[in-house]
A and B are shown apart, each in its own frame.
Chain A
Amino acid sequence: MSRDTALVSADWAEKNLDTPGVVFVEVDEDTTAYDGGHIPGAIKLDWKKDLQDPVRRDFVNQEQFSALLSERGISNDDTVILYGGNNNWFAAYAYWYFKLYGHGDVKLLDGGRKKWELDARPYSKDLPQRAATQYQAKEPDLSIRAFRDEVVQAIGVKNLVDVRSPDEFAGRLLAPAHLPQEQSQRAGHIPTAISVPWSKAANEDGTFKSDEELAKIYGDAGLDGGKDTIAYCRIGERSSHTWFVLKELLGQENVKNYDGSWTEYGSLIGVPIALGDEPGKA
């Protein structure tokens, strides 16, 4: 993968709003932004209602994903362009899903809703009508998803990249600073994880930095190109953003997203935790 195949610009998007076979999908946790105006022709996916299992803590399975995309009118051979708010966190999460379930052609809109807004590009409140399809998701590709036991075994062995803010990494905050700090699990980070906040990879307008800048950021932070990598955050969406950078933009092999992330790891009994600004020892 590379920038040319994984990413489209806002200019490209605006020129291809009506291109047959191209489907724009807005992905957010709070879809009121979509309801108030979205990229013309875009459909919406709700990160929680559509992509998470309603009962178990897990995401929708192969059958549920097939049913969802069929109902929304997305075909296996469509080019899916994902975008959203929060600097594309949830769009990147959805991108990872589409890859996990083997969709052929999926891309992120560089800069997401923010770039679109700052460019003062047009919105629509019209809800597009798309005929239902017979979407067939593939078996989940677990080579891009990490589970907790694998994460514990990766301490001191693989690259662990903590993409939360420096205060969350150090254990001074339990959640990002735009959320109340009320959670009860332990604070800190997985020992030997390097701290590279997701925001390092993005420009102020939400677009991704250049490949050269990105390679330098992770190299300087101590990412070992010869090792496998697991990225994590608090609930797995910010780390999807970093997973996208490492795997899809920089083309690294063997990069996994740990979607259980700190809300799972920081609640496990007996696992090692490091506090403070340094990675800590295995």
Chain B
Amino acid sequence: MTTPHIADGCAAPDQSAPIPASVDLEKETVITGVVTTAEGDAVGGAYVRLLDSSGEFTAEVVTSPEGVFRFFAAPGSWTLRALSRHGNGDLAVDATRGVNEVGLNVAAA
């Protein structure tokens, strides 16, 4: 069982909360990380978009006050794209099963 919030809804759960115990990391492919500025400051309230290998939009979450984001994806090639009031940034990720931790920088264009 997961919380009703996750089971019923489509909005992103709290991004900084621990991964629920019900999530089987043997099966899930988690892509997680922190959005930071060039100076290394965490960016809360940034929009992080997960794009598939063809560049198609797949999902989007808002970072926690600590700049943390998390996706439940599948093994393969993905692109992360962050949008924020401090600027935008992209990162290519080759995800494997389990937890994939990355850092994502944003900068004004």
Query: Chain A interface (Cβ within 8 Å of chain B)?
Result: 28-30, 32-33, 47-48, 85-87, 89-90, 114, 117-120, 165-167, 172-173, 175-183, 197, 199, 204-205, 233-235, 237-238
Q: Taking CB as reference atom, which chain A residue is nearest B44?
A: A36
Q: Taking CB as reference atom, which chain A residue is nearest B62?
A: A85
Smallest CB separation, A245 vs chain B (Å): 15
Contact B28 A85 (CB under 8 A): no
Smallest CB separation, B11 vs chain A (Å): 4
The DSSP consensus for interface residues of chain B is mixed
Given the contacts A30-B5, A117-B85, A118-B84, A181 and B10 also touching, CB distance less than 8 Å? no
Smallest CB separation, A137 vs chain B (Å): 24
- Interchain Cβ contacts under 8 Å between A and B, 16 examples: A29-B5, A85-B11, A89-B10, A114-B47, A117-B45, A117-B85, A118-B47, A165-B57, A167-B58, A172-B74, A178-B59, A178-B61, A179-B6, A179-B12, A197-B56, A237-B10
Contact A177 B58 (CB under 8 A): yes
Contact A182 B2 (CB under 8 A): yes
Q: 0/1 per residue, B4-42, Cβ < 8 Å to A?
A: 011111111110000010110001100000000000000
Q: In the docked arrangement, what's the CA distance between A117 and B83, Å?
A: 10
Q: In the docked arrangement, what's the CA distance between A117 and B11, Å?
A: 17
Having A114-B83, A165-B56, A235-B10, one finds 7 other A-B pairs with CB under 8 Å, namely A47-B11, A167-B74, A178-B12, A178-B61, A183-B7, A204-B49, A235-B9
